[in-house]
């Protein structure tokens, strides 16, 4: 009886083992296929998340470029749609944000290095009472090389889903967000230059 039971169990044991192997193989193939078929986030730009740009991320479903009304230094109304077709480095900042102040000169240096190829665009979210101070501060920090824009409603911070300040977002020529970095960084160093060079290679 024991011999019979043993012989009848063996085929089932073999089939069970084969089934487990098949399931494991299918799972492995699924993972490999999913990894190979999934597009690299922002065309692999997150590989530049190192050094000063260690917090660089590509959101899986980024919000669209904000198009709400902004004011320039003269009080004229505009919006980011005026930069359509350009590579935009949007920086959301305010005057009492220490990291914002610290990084602004490096953003100006980034603009000077890539003049005519990118548009570094700071947008202040200071209230109306600090508008003149924000204009003066940006002029001093950037040497006059960055344009002044302000959103006194502060709504642009919600539009871009800012998780901290400053937040710097790079948009491609089609207006789609490529990558972002929340928190201050040195935008005049080799880490930033490598990222911008990669963006320019991707967006000729």
The token pair at 92 is 């959301």
Domain boundaries, the chain: 1-38, 41-202
156 Cβ partners below 8 Å, 6+ apart? 66, 68, 70, 92, 123, 125
Residue 63 binned pLDDT confidence (cut-offs 50, 70, 90): very high
d(CA 192, CA 204): 18
Does position 38 have pLDDT exceeding 50, yes or no? no
The predicted model gives 17-38 an average pLDDT of 38
10 Å Cβ neighbour count for 176?
A: 11
What pLDDT is recorded for position 32?
32
* CB environment 114-145: b (16+ within 10 A), e (fewer): beeebbbbbbbbbeeebbeebbebbeebbeeb
DSSP class of residue 49 equals -
- Read off the pLDDT of residues 141-198 as tens digits, 9 standing for 90 and up: 999 999 999 999 999 999 999 999 999 999 999 999 999 999 999 999 999 999 999 9
Q: Between these two residues, 146 and 203, which has the higher pLDDT value?
A: 146
Contact 178, 59 (CB under 8 A): no
The CATH number, out of the four listed (3.40.30.10, 3.40.630.30, 3.10.129.10, 3.40.50.880), of the domain defined by the range 41-202: 3.40.30.10
Of 203, 190, 152, which is closest to residue 48 (Cα–Cα)? 190
Helix (H) or strand (E) holding 178: strand 177-182
Contact 192, 110 (CB under 8 A): yes
Q: Looking at 16-25, 73-82, 165-174, which range is the least confident one?
A: 16-25
The predicted model gives 111-133 an average pLDDT of 97
Contact 150, 131 (CB under 8 A): yes
């Amino acid at each position: 009886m024991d011999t019979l039971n043993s012989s009848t169990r063996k085929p089932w044991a073999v089939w069970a083992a084969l089934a487990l192997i098949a399931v494991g193989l299918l799972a492995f193939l699924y993972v490999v296929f999913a990894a190979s078929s999934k597009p690299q986030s922002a065309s692999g730009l997150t590989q530049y998340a190192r050094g000063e740009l260690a917090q660089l991320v590509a959101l899986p479903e980024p919000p669209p470029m904000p198009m709400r009304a902004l004011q320039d230094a003269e009080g004229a109304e505009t919006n980011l749609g005026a930069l359509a077709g350009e590579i935009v480095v949007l920086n959301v900042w305010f005057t009492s944000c220490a990291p914002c102040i610290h990084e602004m000169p490096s953003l100006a240096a980034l603009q000077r290095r890539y003049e005519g190829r990118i548009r570094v665009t700071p947008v202040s979210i200071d209230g109306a009472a600090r508008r003149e101070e924000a204009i003066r501060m940006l002029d001093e920090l950037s040497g006059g090389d960055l344009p002044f824009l302000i959103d006194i409603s502060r709504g642009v911070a919600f539009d871009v889903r800012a998780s901290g300040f400053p937040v710097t977002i790079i948009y491609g020529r089609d207006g789609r967000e490529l990558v972002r970095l929340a928190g201050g960084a040195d935008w005049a160093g080799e880490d930033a230059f490598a990222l911008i060079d990669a963006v320019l290679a991707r967006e000729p």
